[in-house]
Amino acid sequence: MHANETRTDAALVRRLLAAQFPAWAELPVEPVGSHGTVNAIYRLGADLAVRLPRIEGGSKDVATEHRWLPRLAEHLPFPVPVPLAAGVPAEGYPWSWSVCRWIDGDNPAAGSGGAGFAADIAEFVLALRRADTTDAPPAYRSEPLAARDTATREALDALDGVIDTTAAAGVWSDALRAPDQQGPAVWVHGDLQPGNVLVSGGRLSAVIDFGCMGLADPAVDLIAGWYLLPAGARRVFRTEVGADGAEWARGRGWALSVALMELSYYRTSNPVMATTARHVIGEILAEAD
């Protein structure tokens, strides 16, 4: 998936556990079929999961998650994967890694959430925004939307002939004209898309993979509206989070920028991510018609 990706397998996980966390070394280890782009996931026994970053950038998330997820979890209305242990490079594996609780649930299909799910996502977003920001780090997507202009237009150029780049460029230009954020930065998850949420019975059951978390424009988490919800439920989500016109326009810009870059990067290496990105772009362009 990545040119510089570190390969892992269950045997490596067993060696790492035996050397660093022997109390868990005898538990069965099974790879988890995942289309995630940052971590390889292994189920450890019935109740645990091992997360091995694929690239160096993912390794840097381990310390952030271990520091902040336990503090945030007690204020959030849905389960999150609080880390239990942090591993160090060993056995030929070069990055930090982690063990956390396994959380049951399924990833939803892109744009499949109903009104109840939309209200759940809004509840999570609002609770996260209320968390204390003292000493909190910047989010992975903490830059102003305009700072993504060059990279977004490079993705548009790469997708010429793949999507309607003229229409997408028009929507992107509209987003850049939206007024900037006026209030303080707040806690955001930073990547609310299908692979990072779990559902049960059509309702949100957990939010996972907080590698992008930190302080940013609250509009960043509005990408959930296009990644997770169809038009009707998206209106419910907007109402519940109380997004005004400027914030919603920035959120649409964030969703478009992220989806364009994902489709450009993963078009041939990760079909699931690419399909999700195409869906998001299609939803946004349909709104613009």
What is the distance in angstroms between the CA of the first residue and the CA of the last residue of the chain? 34
For residue 71, which of 193, 202, 213, 190 has the smallest C-alpha distance?
213
The rounded distance, in Å, linking the Cα atoms of 215 and 252 is: 19
- Contact, 212 vs 140, CB < 8 A? yes
Q: Is 114 exposed, middle or buried (0-12, 13-18, 19+ CB in 10 A)?
A: middle
The two three-digit tokens of residue 59, written as one number: 């390794």
pLDDT tens, per residue, the chain with 289 residues: 556 778 899 999 999 999 999 999 999 999 998 767 788 999 999 999 999 998 887 788 899 999 999 999 999 999 999 899 999 999 999 999 999 999 999 999 999 999 999 999 999 999 999 999 999 999 999 999 999 999 999 999 999 999 999 999 999 999 999 999 989 999 999 999 999 999 999 999 999 999 999 999 999 999 999 999 999 999 999 999 999 999 999 999 999 999 999 999 999 888 999 999 999 999 999 997 6
Compute the distance between CA of residue 222 and CA of residue 190 in angstroms, rounded to an integer: 9
49, 81 Cβ separation under 8 angstroms: yes
Helix, strand or coil for residue 87?
Answer: strand
C-alpha–C-alpha distance, residues 58 and 73, integer Å: 21
Tokens matching residue 122: 């809004």
The answer to whether the CB of 254 falls within 8 A of the CB of 145 is yes
> Which tokens is 110 given?
């892109």
pLDDT in the model for residue 75: 93
CA-based nearest residue to 12, from 85, 95, 84, 83: 95
Residue 121 and residue 203: Cα distance in Å, rounded? 9
φ, ψ dihedrals at 215, nearest 5°: -95, 135
Contact 225, 125 (CB under 8 A): no
User: Does this model's pTM top 0.95?
Assistant: no
Q: Which residues contact 30 (CB under 8 A, 6 or more apart)?
A: 10, 42, 43
